Amino acid sequence: MYYGKDKILYRTIKADRLSSIILFGPPGCGKTSLARVISETTKYKFYKINAVTAGVADIKKVIEETKNFMLNPTGKSILFIDEIHRFNKLQQDALLPFVENGTIILIGATTENPYFEVNKALISRSMVIKLEPLTEENIYEILRNSIVRKDGLGDYNIKVEDKTLKKLASICNGDVRTALNGLEIAVLTTAMDENGVIKITDEVIKNSVQTKKAIFDKNGDTHYDNISAFIKSMRGSDSDATIFYLARALNGGEDPMFLARRIVIAAAEDVGMANPNALVIANSAMQAVHMVGMPEARIILAEAAVYVAESKKSNASYNAINKAIEDVSSKDTGEIPMHIRNAPAKGMEQFGYGQGYLYPHDFPGHVVEQQYLPDKMLGTRYYIKDENIE
């Protein structure tokens, strides 16, 4: 933990000895507020730009002013870049030399995982800090303060019960900005009663915020987290968790066909020979999802995902093919035995192609002992049955 009272981030801000940092976390968790705190405590000149609207020219302007002794005697400045993941490679590269030599102390804020989105050279020169969503209690306290503070809603005569504020805090998934915006809308759009009081009820809050905000970005870090949890829940035979992460993905706008493909993969990789019918079910579900589409596809996906989750598991086939691929790509595995090679053209038999092959169906039980692996691979085991395979 880098942040909190007496932690490294707190100490460096208090001592004004900040080095470059990248803050990442979900919307409304305090990234911009933290930058504002830094701007009010530092002796260095503080600049703020948004990567959505800024470009290389804006970076150059900050650098020029930083190097101008008349404008900035310290020769350093703090540059806060909101949504830093929106900067392309060229823009990020323009920053790098000045972060390296200490001219610029970078504070980047992003909702995306910076290890995916930010230049690795910038990452290596920065302290990466993950901010967690605020708790419901945190948000409740902020809402209570906003009602009484003059820089909040303190000028309004508001009556609201604690349980209503707690309800608002609970439906925002740690996003305090959503909570504050919802409260402000509720206050500004609710008429005063005869005593000049604005009464905020559960119903008013419901109509001001509408639905619980889902923290899900189908193109971002939460996409990868959620699909990982979905797959691991199927693999772990937890049907309830499987359905939960499926619902979360669908609610966030995930492509149903993407989810169907993941179920097919899980059926092959994790269920395998313990229940080969799982692959049939999953593949049929994928075809049905393609034909039917949403919203009915949710039922098909749920049925297939639960079937995979409830099935016995075996990764014997998965392990077998991985080991075999590793061998054929890294070893001298020898030649295919001549007796099991193909002899499509007349005359090839004289060179040994197909000579001595024993046709299994001519033998009892339709099985016959003969060599199939190359000489160099004799005795190698790839497919090893486990206790779940009958």
Domain boundaries, the chain: 8-130, 136-209, 221-310
Backbone angles phi, psi at 373, to 5 degrees: -75, 155
Average confidence (pLDDT) over 223-235: 91
Q: Which amino acid is at 316?
A: A
Residue 315: which pLDDT band, with cuts at 50, 70 and 90?
A: very high
Q: Cα separation of 375 and 353, whole Å?
A: 16
For domain 136-209, the CATH architecture is: Orthogonal Bundle (1.10)
Average pLDDT taken over every residue of the chain: 87
Q: Cα separation of 276 and 272, whole Å?
A: 6
Q: Cα separation of 155 and 196, whole Å?
A: 12
Place of tokens 């400045």: 77
pLDDT the model gives residue 173: 76
Helix (H) or strand (E) holding 382: none
pLDDT the model gives residue 208: 84
- 220, pLDDT greater than 80: no
- 70, pLDDT greater than 60: yes
For domain 8-130, the CATH architecture is: 3-Layer(aba) Sandwich (3.40)
Residue 51: which pLDDT band, with cuts at 50, 70 and 90?
A: confident
Q: Cα separation of 49 and 65, whole Å?
A: 14
The pLDDT tens digits of the residues spanning 361-375 come to: 999 999 999 999 999
Q: Cα separation of 106 and 109, whole Å?
A: 10
Place of tokens 């889902």: 214
For domain 221-310, the CATH architecture is: Up-down Bundle (1.20)
| Contacts for 280 with CB less than 8 Å, ≥ 6 apart | none
- 307, pLDDT greater than 90: yes
